[in-house]
Amino acid sequence: MLNKVPDDWPSTTQLCSAVAARVEQVFGETGDRLAEISAVIMASEDRVLSANPRPQSSLLVIAACVSAGGAWQHALWPAVAMECAMAAADVFDDIADGEATALWARFGPGSVLIGTCGLLALAAGIVLRGIEDGLSERTVLDLGRLLSDELAQAADGQARSLAPRAVSDAVDAYEVAAAKSGPLGSLAARLGARTASNDPELLRAYGAFGSHLAVYSQLLNDARDAAPSGSTHKRDVREGRQTVPLVFTGSSGAPPHLRGRALQEWEAHERQRIAAEGGVLAAVALAHAERLRAAEVLDTLARIGRPVQVLRRLLDGQP
């Protein structure tokens, strides 16, 4: 029975529509320019207003709520807050990495930066709207505190990852990956669980699951971004980012004088070297360990009677 998806669990399409409708409601109540920038952000990549939405972070909020014993509808505002906060975090990361080129070209750097700050500010208010769906004042205050605390932790981890020569070995690089992505996963799962329960042990368990899920994903992404088959739009290898596969193999970025075809050839060769010398394998092995830990938490939750099938599907990449 515990392996069965709850009967009232809605389809992914229904969930995406419900979250998207509330995002649009918020933007309809927001200043024109901020709403325009925010809507473009939320319609890019696979975010909730895109043609093929995969709003995984808000699905995690809702799945954790249901697993902790709540009704999915009660987690909608926290899910919308998570979706906005996650999109803002993503854009800030793109800005830091010099990869926000499409937004830059459309709105200009200043507007993108201010607009993204606005989106984050909206998230802080959105989470409090849970009260409109019947959550108690105490609960929405806790949700607001969670949002602030975990986002601040993720920002600290991200700032650490961007500091020059902050990482001395692959274990350090793993710790940085965990510090910047773990709090975001923990936040999503805890927001959902807190809408249903205030049991601290239960909240800690859902937070641990979310953290391991996020670190697992982050490490796989870092592996993919360094692999020979990875997207060359990602600049990790060229810029010598401090990720596990690069640090493991001592890869520190392209020589600054390389341009055009010479740079492409250097990068293709470097990606082959990183894979051949075990960098990709190291990141994948560390990711497996995070996945095992996430599965262990789900087993613990299942043993105490919590339905975890939807969370297991998220871990298996089957939302």
Partner 1 sequence: MIPARRDEHSAEAGAIVDAIQRLRANPEVLAAARTDLAAALDRLGLTGTPRQAIAATLTLRPEAILVYGSSMFWSI
Query: Which residues of the shown chain bind partner 1 in the complex (CB under 8 A)?
Result: 54, 56-57, 60, 89-90, 93, 154, 158, 169-171, 174-175, 178, 180-181, 184-185, 201-202, 204-205, 208, 213-214, 217-218, 220-221, 223-225, 227, 229-230, 248, 277-278, 280-282, 284-289, 292-293, 297, 300, 304, 314, 317
Closest separation in Å from C-beta 261 to partner 1: 26
Closest separation in Å from C-beta 224 to partner 1: 5
The smaller minimum CB distance to partner 1, of residues 23 and 202, is found at 202
The smaller minimum CB distance to partner 1, of residues 54 and 238, is found at 54
Closest separation in Å from C-beta 271 to partner 1: 12
The smaller minimum CB distance to partner 1, of residues 64 and 154, is found at 154
Closest separation in Å from C-beta 70 to partner 1: 19
The smaller minimum CB distance to partner 1, of residues 54 and 71, is found at 54
The smaller minimum CB distance to partner 1, of residues 76 and 154, is found at 154
Closest separation in Å from C-beta 281 to partner 1: 6
Nearest to 35 by CA among 26, 44, 47: 26
